[in-house]
Amino acid sequence: MATLAAAATLVVMAACGSDSTTAPNTPTAAGNWTLQSVDGKAPPDTVIHTSTLTVEFLDGTLALNEDMSYKLFFHSRTTQGDSVTADSSGSTGTYTQSGNTVTIHNPANNGNVVATVASSSLSFVDNGLTFMFTKSTP
């Protein structure tokens, strides 16, 4: 009888579960991202406009790779007087992720940009501009 009672106690204790908690579902930053807006405006977006100079972001992509490397690429257009120049620029480097925070490190200028990632969006502020990306579907 005592053995039966002990066995029943173990079954009840096992059915109650454990003290462990499930970690929050943190989205992974790895993947391909497409520029959706600069300062809340969809590309093409004018980021500088004076009487003699206009600079526009036309599009952009950000690849955050599984090996923790990244590649950021933008197309832009600069108009100075009557002269229009198309430009491509970008950077490569590494990134780290801790929870919803992604730190993008550019070794060319030893700078860091801190981004926030959600399930399908990633945003960061750089040089006073807010960049919003959405995750590309495979």
Domain-wise residue ranges, the chain: 29-135
The segment with the largest mean pLDDT, out of 13-17, 68-72, 107-111, is 68-72
Instruction: State whether residue 1 is helix, strand or coil.
Output: coil
Band (120; pLDDT cuts 50, 70, 90): very high
From the candidate CATH numbers 3.30.470.20, 2.40.128.300, 3.90.1170.50, 2.60.120.10, the one assigned to the domain spanning 29-135: 2.40.128.300
CA gap 44, 49 in Å, rounded: 13
Given a cut of 50, whether residue 125 has pLDDT beyond it is: yes
> Residue 6's pLDDT is what?
36
Q: With beta carbons less than 8 A apart as the criterion, state whether 94 and 68 touch.
A: yes
CA separation for the pair 48, 65 (Å, rounded): 31
Mean pLDDT of 61-80: 96
Q: What is the pLDDT of residue 20?
A: 42
